[in-house]
Amino acid sequence: MPFQITEIFFGILPPKYYLLIAPIALMVAGFLVEKKFVGRITVFSNSMALVAFFIPLNNVPVLLKLFINFAIILGIIGVWKYYNNESLDSRYYNLTKYVPTIITGIILLIGVLVYL
């Protein structure tokens, strides 16, 4: 049976880092979209990066779960409004300052150090 391209990639990457592929891809997308403020799509991709990494893990601290849920709610609201071409007021953007890509990256880095 011929090999697939994923076999080459996954052959190089140690299995314990497989959980990081989706979060890193989502963070890169969020970082590329981020300009002078944290945009709606960035918040959504950052929240999905956190979900993709932490959902299969056990013993995630309650405060982290609350933060992830907060990010998911902001992300869903942002994507919905973006999809419907509706604007959001400054209160939404003030809240999104707490979910930038750098914070998401730090949380994922700590998650890697603690869980992997």
- Give the amino acid at 109: L
In which band, very low, low, confident or very high, does the pLDDT at 9 lie, cut at 50, 70 and 90?
low
Average pLDDT score over residue span 18-46? 74
pLDDT higher for 9 or 76?
Answer: 76
Q: How confident is the model at residue 90 (pLDDT cuts 50, 70, 90)?
A: very high
Provide, rounded to the nearest whole percent, the portion of the chain with pLDDT above 90: 34
**pLDDT value of residue 2:** 54
Does the structure show a pLDDT above 80 at 52?
yes
Tokens 């969020």 locate to 30
> For 63-74, what is each residue's pLDDT tens digit?
999 999 999 999
Residue 41 tokens, joined: 């799509």
Read off the amino acid at residue 87: S
The residue that leads in pLDDT, 17 or 86, is 86
DSSP helix/strand/coil, 35: coil
Q: How far apart are CA 74 and CA 95, in angstroms?
A: 8
